[in-house]
A and B are shown apart, each in its own frame.
Chain A
Amino acid sequence: GAVVSQHPSRVICKSGTSVKIECRSLDFQATTMFWYRQFPKQSLMLMATSNEGSKATYEQGVEKDKFLINHASLTLSTLTVTSAHPEDSSFYICSASRTERTGELFFGEGSRLTVL
């Protein structure tokens, strides 16, 4: 079964509104979670690394004021797309690691955001 769950799986919103996406590790504690974005026919692009209890680390080119990340607990990280625009429409995926070893990453089901 899924060990990382995302919600919602699909969201449609109007331009200018904010949307929150949740990522939960279901049966383990994740001190670090990762947020990715995927455009059609493109690779998964790492947006930011979410650390429990501290500020997220954003990749170059990702606006931290637009994509707010909060890792309030060891099992929950949230991504809020603020003042969404049509170009923010994308597939957002989170991942979390059970262990320190690279590769033991479990991905959420993804969230399809459509901004009208």
Chain B
Amino acid sequence: DQQVKQNSPSLSVQEGRISILNCDYTNSMFDYFLWYKKYPAEGPTFLISISSIKDKNEDGRFTVFLNKSAKHLSLHIVPSQPGDSAVYFCAASAGYGGATNKLIFGTGTLLAVQP
């Protein structure tokens, strides 16, 4: 049972355009969501997060939107740069605030930013 889903295995975007990566979840107990970026043969690196009390969090070129009623979140990257090319994982956890650091990951979306 995949509780966190990323239905698009890959996405190709032109440099300078917006990249939108989507993520859906099924567990209504999730209250904290994160995006990680991963290069081949490396561990994931934290990108941005959002708690369920917010619907938007912005950090530079990266913005995460959360739609709790739809159990959907998205990561927007604008403008996209070739260095953004990587696999992006959506992750979720329940019990933000110290209860747990257990993260449930999605399957990832490979973003390719074309120069």
Residues of A bordering B, CB below 8 Å: 4, 6, 9, 32, 34, 36, 41-46, 49, 91, 93, 95, 97, 100-110, 112
Q: Do B102 and A110 touch across chains, with their CB atoms under 8 A apart?
A: no
0 or 1 for each of B1-24: is its CB under 8 Å from A? (1 = yes) = 010100001000000000000000
User: Is B96 part of the contact surface with A, judged by Cβ < 8 Å?
Assistant: yes
Task: Give Cα distance in the complex from A9 to B42, angstroms.
Answer: 9
By secondary structure, the B interface counts as loop
Q: Name which of B66-74, B76-84, B105-113 contacts chain A.
A: B105-113
Q: Do B41 and A43 touch across chains, with their CB atoms under 8 A apart?
A: no
Total A-B Cβ pairs within 8 A:
69
Q: Do B43 and A93 touch across chains, with their CB atoms under 8 A apart?
A: yes
By secondary structure, the A interface counts as strand
Task: Give Cα distance in the complex from A107 to B91, angstroms.
Answer: 14
Task: Give Cα distance in the complex from A9 to B2, angstroms.
Answer: 28
Q: Do A43 and B43 touch across chains, with their CB atoms under 8 A apart?
A: no
Q: Do A105 and B103 touch across chains, with their CB atoms under 8 A apart?
A: yes
Which residues of the other chain, B, contact A107 by a CB distance below 8 angstroms? 36, 43-45
Q: Do B43 and A97 touch across chains, with their CB atoms under 8 A apart?
A: no
CB distance from B94 to the nearest CB of A (A): 9
Q: Do A42 and B107 touch across chains, with their CB atoms under 8 A apart?
A: yes
Q: Which of A36, A103, A107, A110 has the most CB of B within 10 A?
A: A103
Which residues of the other chain, B, contact A32 by a CB distance below 8 angstroms? 101
Task: Give Cα distance in the complex from A4 to B44, angstroms.
Answer: 11
Which residues of the other chain, B, contact A42 by a CB distance below 8 angstroms? 107
Which residues of the other chain, A, contact B107 by a CB distance below 8 angstroms? 41-43
Q: Which of B34, B41, B93, B101 has the most CB of A within 10 A?
A: B101
Q: Do A34 and B4 touch across chains, with their CB atoms under 8 A apart?
A: no
